[in-house]
Amino acid sequence: MFRYLVLGLLRDGQLRHGYALMKEYRGRSGLRVSTGNFYRELQRLVAAGFVRTADNPSDADPRRAPYEITPSGRAEFDRWLAGPPGTGLGRYEDELSSRSLFLVDAEPALAAKLLDSWKEELWIRSKVYERERAYAMTHPASGETPTFPILSILLTRKLKHIAADVEFINELAAAHGEWTTATFGAKGKRANAERAPVEDRQTNPTRRARRP
């Protein structure tokens, strides 16, 4: 997931070196990550073709090589941002929070679509967990007497996490709406459209699902 944080910080097309990326990330998230982690990830992104080195401005420190995102790196970041929240153990909450850092760079209407798609994905996932929990409660594992309902308890935990994330998205959407109105007015149009990190054509395929 760290690669997407780096790509997101470079998404505006400005040249940055590892130290500048570290400072910007700390300013956005309040979290401290070593500069070495950024430089190591930048090298991996260069190897993948998502980032490339650029010429240093004449007045810049020659010891710090700047980097810029490539078109494929921009597309990779946009795909990640528009996708559903991650499900990796120990990373689920972090990935949702990390995506939220870049909502400010999207057009207001597109940011609203992203928030709606994230919440839709969580709703779909909650229904899957509810069915799995109901089955686990009515079909205990065979060969174990008595059977401890660990699966249903774990599924209940997942459902609580989803409920908390939905509440977070609702609060985020309300705050983003207030900020958009105060910053751009009722129409919510950004002055510089080039700052938008994802294209309107990128939508979540799970949006085709409908609530019963």
Token pair belonging to 132: 């799995």
Nearest by Cα to 45 from 79, 16, 68:
68
The pLDDT-based confidence of 210 (bands split at 50, 70, 90) is very low
Q: What percent of the chain has pLDDT over 90?
A: 33
Distance CA 142, CA 150 (A): 14
pLDDT in tens, 40-67: 999 999 999 999 988 776 666 666 788 9
User: Is 210 strand, coil or helix?
Assistant: coil
The pLDDT value given to residue 60: 62
Strand residues in the chain grouped as ranges (E): 51-53, 67-69
What pLDDT score was predicted for residue 139? 72
Residue 25 has pLDDT above 90, yes or no: no
